[in-house]
């Protein structure tokens, strides 16, 4: 796929460090070896070096030159514990809690990113999305300008290789107008960095420009205006039905004069239900390739994986983070 080839090539030029916490999983070790051998990124593994090297030997891969960090024996353990405690003591976290939590590889990986010891963290092969996001939010935190954590799914047409960004498809069930605006801004920037094209953002609804009067449509219209005030440089329109967003002839009839003119490449769904269903319809019925979710809104890059992911998926997500870092 051309997009992934381009993402990997760009990653090679960035020389980023990606921490992979779940080193007890064979897929993660294979991904680390690939990242190293293909010079896509500098991988860092978390766990017991003896156990990790024994597994690598058993599955016949080389981890030569790859850094392995064991939280329990690391000389940074106390520093990480103290930092986590300071961040969370107002929530009732005790020092004993912090000591336990910082032995968790995913939390350790997030702290490495927070401390600039790694440029990004990829976890989720054996860790739930909830725990990955918990580590990211508690340690890395959100961007002050767009503090809503969301996800972007890249959807690629099987016929034309047209690429769309769909959001939010994995994180926020029922966003407010302000959160929808954050999601739109974050997704536009993700699209620009990964796809390397100017984002044209459509705020989707079952209504186009007031054709239906309902609070759910009004929410999308309000979110559109918020984005316009925050980012006057973005090409954005809403509220729009999907056909008006992506079919120029329909747009001419339903939303004449629209700045995106039926050529949207960033589609912002009004809620998680429609976003999740929408991308799966394009994948399962439309035959589109999908990449993601790409987590957005964090101050520094950290990403979740599907627990059904392949080693290749881990490599690709790592390459994407290199492009975002």
For position 56, which CATH number holds?
3.40.50.10950
pLDDT attached to residue 1: 64
116 and 158 fall within a common domain: no
Under DSSP, is residue 69 helix (H, G, I), strand (E, B) or coil? Answer: strand
Regarding whether 160 and 53 lie in a shared domain, the answer is: no
Are residues 169 and 284 both part of a single domain? yes
Same domain flag for 114 and 160: no
Six token digits for residue 189: 């920037």
- Tell whether 285 and 309 lie within a shared domain: no
Mean pLDDT score, 254-265: 96
In the predicted model, is pLDDT for residue 55 greater than 90? yes
Four-CA torsion 73, 76, 77, 82, nearest 10 degrees: 170
Same domain as 45, residue 178 = no
Query: What does DSSP assign to residue 139?
Result: I
| Statement to judge: residues 35 and 122 lie in one domain | yes
pTM as predicted:
0.89
For residues 98 and 31, membership in a common domain is answered with yes
Residues 192 and 249 in one domain: yes
Q: Give the pLDDT confidence score for residue 306 in this predicted structure.
A: 83
Range of the domain at 268: 150-291
Q: Give the residue-averaged pLDDT of 14-37.
A: 97
Percent of the chain surpassing pLDDT 70: 100
What pLDDT score was predicted for residue 274?
Answer: 97
- Rounded to 5°, the CA angle 82-84-89 comes to 95
CATH code, 224: 3.40.50.10750
- Pairing status of strand 150-156 against strand 163-167: antiparallel
The b/e string for 32-54 (b: 16+ C-beta within 10 A; e otherwise) is bbbbbeeebbbbbbbbeeeebee
Do residues 186 and 229 share a domain? yes
* pLDDT band at residue 246 under the 50/70/90 scheme: very high
240/274 same-domain check: yes
DSSP per position, 34-59? HHHHTTS-EEEEES-HHHHHHHHHHT
Q: How many domains, the chain?
A: 2
Average pLDDT over residues 308-324: 93
Residues 106 and 71 in one domain: yes
């Amino acid at each position: 796929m051309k997009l992934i080839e381009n993402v990997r090539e760009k990653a090679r030029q960035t020389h980023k460090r990606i921490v992979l916490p779940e080193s007890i999983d064979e897929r993660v070790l294979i991904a680390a070896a690939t990242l190293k051998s293909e010079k896509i990124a500098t991988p860092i593994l978390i766990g017991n070096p003896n156990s990790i090297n024994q597994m690598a030997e058993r599955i016949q891969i080389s981890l030569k030159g790859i850094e392995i960090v064991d939280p329990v024996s690391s000389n940074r353990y106390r520093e990480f514990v103290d930092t986590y405690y300071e961040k969370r003591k107002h929530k009732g976290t005790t020092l004993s809690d912090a000591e336990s939590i910082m032995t968790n590889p995913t939390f350790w990986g997030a702290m490495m990113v927070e401390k600039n010891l790694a440029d990004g963290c990829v976890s989720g092969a054996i860790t739930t999305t909830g725990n990955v996001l918990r580590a990211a939010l508690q340690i890395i935190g959100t961007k002050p300008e767009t503090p809503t954590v969301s996800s972007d799914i890249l959807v690629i047409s099987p016929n034309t290789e047209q690429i769309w960004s769909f959001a939010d498809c994995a994180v926020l069930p029922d966003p407010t107008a302000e959160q929808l605006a954050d999601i739109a801004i974050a997704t536009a920037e993700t699209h620009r960095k990964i796809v390397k094209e100017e984002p044209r953002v459509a705020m989707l609804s079952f209504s186009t420009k007031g054709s239906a009067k309902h609070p759910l449509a009004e929410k999308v219209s309000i979110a559109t205006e918020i984005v316009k005030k925050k980012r006057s440089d973005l090409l954005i329109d809403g509220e729009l039905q999907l056909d008006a967003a992506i079919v120029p002839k329909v747009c001419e009839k339903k939303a004449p004069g629209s700045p995106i003119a039926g050529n949207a490449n960033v589609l912002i769904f009004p809620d998680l239900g429609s976003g999740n269903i929408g991308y799966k319809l394009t994948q399962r019925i439309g035959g589109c390739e999908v990449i993601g979710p790409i987590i957005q809104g964090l101050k520094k890059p950290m990403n979740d994986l599907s627990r059904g992911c392949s080693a290749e998926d881990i490599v690709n997500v790592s390459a994407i983070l290199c492009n975002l870092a």
